[in-house]
Amino acid sequence: MKYACLIYSTESDPAANPEPGSEAWGPIMEGYQRFGAEAEAAGVMITGEPLHPTSSATSVQVRNGETITTDGPFAETKEQLGGFYLLECENLDQALEWAAKIPHAASGTIEVRPVPDFSEL
Amino acid sequence: MSEHVRGAIAEVVRREWSTVVASLVGDLGDLGLAEDAVQEAAEAALRSWPRDGVPDRPGAWITTVARRRAIDRLRRESTRRSKTEQLARLEERLGATDLGGGAEDGETLLRDDQLRLLFACCHPSLHVEAQIALTLRSMAGLTTREIAHAFLVPEATMAQRLVRAKRKIADALVPFEIPPDQQLLQRLASVRHVVYLVFNEGYDATAGDELIRHELCGEAIRLGSLLAELVSDDAETLGLGALMLLTHARRLARSDRQGEVVLLADQDRSRWDRRMIERGTELLDRAVRLGRPGPFQIQAAIAALHADASHADETDWAGIADLYQELTRISPSPVVRLNRAVATAMADGPSAGLELLDDDDLAERLALYSYFHSARADLLDRAGFPEAARDAYQRAVGLLTPGPQRRLLERKAAKLGHRA
C-alpha cells in the first residue's frame, strides 16, 4: 500500500529549520540524503519533495464559479507542512518505521496517511 | 425456544467468539468482514441448534458457516481484485475443513491467531478507548450494547467508535501480526495497558451488570495468560497476570448480600479464592526471579501481602509501605503517592501518613478525587483533629453522587460534628 508521510515542523524554529546554506542546514540535508538513499535501496521510495515555507503559499477557493485567492496556507497551525514522501510499504507498521527515520521526526511530526487505490473499485 | 436454551447457546457462541473471529481474520485479513460473517453464523446457530442439537465442536461449526457466509459476500463483491484473492484463500481453507482441534500445531495456530488479533486491536495507531472497545468486541465477544453499557455511553456512540476503528484498521492496513522482536517489548506494554484497563473496567466499575463485570475480569485474565505464554520470560507480563489473579481472588468478598461495597479491612477472608491466590503467587514468584522489577510486579506484591494476612490486623503494613515507596519512585502518580501515605499511616501512625499528604502539588492534583479527602479525613481524625477531619469528610461528600459510598462518609462526618 502507498503511504504519504507528511512532514510537519515549526518553520520559525531555527534549530529545526535553519536557513538554507547556513552551517546548521548541512547536517539536516545530509540526514535527508541518507534517508532517501536508504528508502531507495529498500525499494519503498516512490517520490518525495520539500516545500517552500508557508510564506510562499497561496490558497485558492472556487465559490459560485468565482475564484477567491488568498495569501498564506489554508489553516494556521502550530507546525507547518514542509515536505512529503510517498512510500510503498507492506503495512502500517512498516510505514511507521520509515516515518520515524525521517530527520524531522526528531523535532516535528510526521503524519502518515494511507493512499487509497480507487482502481480496485 | 426457551430463554434457557437461548442463553446456553449464546454462552457457547461467546466462548468460541474470539477463536472463530481470529481464525477468519487470518483467512481474510479484514476484521469488519470477519466479524459480520461470525455474527451471521452465530445467528444461524441460534436458529438451528435448538432444533438439531449443539454440535460436538461448536467452534468448528461456527467457523465453517462463517467462512461460507464470507464467501457468499465476497462473491457478490468480487469485482475487486483483492477480494478474489481472499475468496481463493477462503475456499481452500473451507476445503481443508480442519480447525486444527486436538493436534499440538493446531493449538499453537489458534493461540497465534488470537495474539495477532489482540495486537491489532491494541495497535498504538488507534485511540486507547477504541483499543479497549475493539478488544472487548473481538476478543471477549461482548456485544456492542454490553460494551456501551460498561462504559456508560449510548449504544450508537459505541457502535460508531467500533466502526471507525475497524475502518482505520482496514484503510491504513494495520497488520494482524505478532510484532517482530525489536518492536515486541514496546507493543507488549500497550497491550498490557489495555488488558489492565479491561480488568479495571470489570473490577472498579460502579455501574453495569455484575455478571458482565466478572466476565470482563475473567477475559482480562485469559488475555494475560495468552501474553504470558507468548513471552514467558517477560517479568512485567507475568506481573500483570499475578496482579489480576491476586485481585480477582477477592471478588466474592467485595460486596455483601445487598450489593453494598465491603472494604478490604472488613472482608470475610474465608471467601477469598485460595486457588487463585496460589496461582497468582506462583506467577509473581516466577516474575520476581527474572530480576527486572516493574509497576505491575510491585502492585502484585502488595496484593500478595494482603492475601497473606488471614486477618486485617495481621497485615504487613511496613512491607506494603516499602513497596509503595518503591512504586512511587518508578511511577510517581498522585494516586500512588496517596496510597503510599495511607500504608505509611497504617505502619507508622497517622502523623507519618499526614506528613506525606502535606504537599500543595499533590493536594491540587487530587482536589477532585473524593478518596483523597476521605483518606485524609480518616488520618486527621485518628491524629486527634476532629474539626479538620469533619471538613475533609464534607469535601469528599461534595464530590460523590448519592449512593452507599456517600452515605458512609456522611455518617462519619456527622459523628465528628457531635464530638467537636
What is the reported pLDDT for B105? 60
Chain B interface disruption, residue of A1, A2, A92, A121, most B CBs within 10 A = A92
How far apart, in whole angstroms, are the C-alpha atoms of residue B215 and residue B207? 14
Pairing verdict, β A58-63 and A45-50: unpaired
* Cβ-based neighbour number of residue B202 at 10 Å: 25
The pLDDT of residue A100 is above 70: yes
B183 to chain A, any CB pair closer than 8 A? The answer is yes
Q: For residue range A37-48, what is the model confidence (pLDDT) as tens digits?
A: 999 999 999 999
How far apart, in whole angstroms, are the C-alpha atoms of residue B137 and residue B142? 5
B173: nearest CB among A92, A120, A121? A92
Span B221-249, mean pLDDT? 96
B167 to chain A, any CB pair closer than 8 A? The answer is no
The pLDDT of residue B10 is above 50: yes
The pLDDT of residue B91 is above 80: no
- More confident call, A58 vs B400: A58
CB B245 within 8 A of CB B279: yes
In a 13 Å sphere around the CA of A8, the CA atoms on its Cβ side amount to 11
B81: nearest CB among A92, A116, A120? A120
DSSP state of B384: T
Chain A interface disruption, residue of B122, B173, B187, most A CBs within 10 A = B173
C-alpha cell at B335: 494516586
Burial of residue B319, with CB atoms counted within 10 A of its CB: 0-12 exposed, 13-18 middle, 19 or more buried: middle
Q: For residue range B112-157, what is the model confidence (pLDDT) as tens digits?
A: 889 999 999 999 999 999 999 999 999 988 889 888 887 778 999 9
Closest residue, chain B, to A89 (C-alpha): B173
CB B369 within 8 A of CB B399: yes
SS3 content of chain A, % helix, strand, coil (to 5): 30, 35, 35
**Are B174 and A91 an interchain contact pair (Cβ–Cβ within 8 Å)?**
yes
What is the reported pLDDT for B78? 64
Confidence of residue B418 (pLDDT cuts 50, 70, 90): low
> Which residues partner with B59 through β-bridges?
none
C-alpha cell at A37: 538513499
Span B14-35, mean pLDDT? 88
What is the reported pLDDT for B66? 92
The pLDDT of residue B92 is above 80: no
Closest residue, chain A, to B174 (C-alpha): A92
The pLDDT of residue B104 is above 60: no
B171: nearest CB among A90, A114, A121? A114
Mean pLDDT (chain B, rounded): 88
What is the reported pLDDT for B102? 43
Contacts of A112 in chain B (CB under 8 A): 172
How far apart, in whole angstroms, are the C-alpha atoms of residue B312 and residue B315? 6
Asked whether the ipTM of the predicted complex exceeds the cut of 0.90, the reply is no
How far apart, in whole angstroms, are the C-alpha atoms of residue B390 and residue B415? 9
Confidence of residue B385 (pLDDT cuts 50, 70, 90): very high
Hey, what amino acid is at B199?
Answer: F
The pLDDT of residue B213 is above 80: no
Span B155-175, mean pLDDT? 94
**Are B123 and A120 an interchain contact pair (Cβ–Cβ within 8 Å)?**
no
- Helical ranges in A1-121 per DSSP H: 25-41, 92-101
Contacts of A114 in chain B (CB under 8 A): 171-173
**Are B172 and A90 an interchain contact pair (Cβ–Cβ within 8 Å)?**
no
Confidence of residue B13 (pLDDT cuts 50, 70, 90): confident
**Are B82 and A114 an interchain contact pair (Cβ–Cβ within 8 Å)?**
no
Q: For residue range B65-78, what is the model confidence (pLDDT) as tens digits?
A: 999 999 988 888 76
C-alpha cell at B317: 503494613
What is the reported pLDDT for B101? 44
Span B259-272, mean pLDDT? 87
For residue A74, give how far its alpha carbon lies from the nearest alpha carbon of chain B (Å): 25
For residue A120, give how far its alpha carbon lies from the nearest alpha carbon of chain B (Å): 5
How far apart, in whole angstroms, are the C-alpha atoms of residue A2 and residue A89? 6
Mean pLDDT (chain A, rounded): 93
Q: Is A49 helix (H, G, I), strand (E, B) or coil?
A: strand
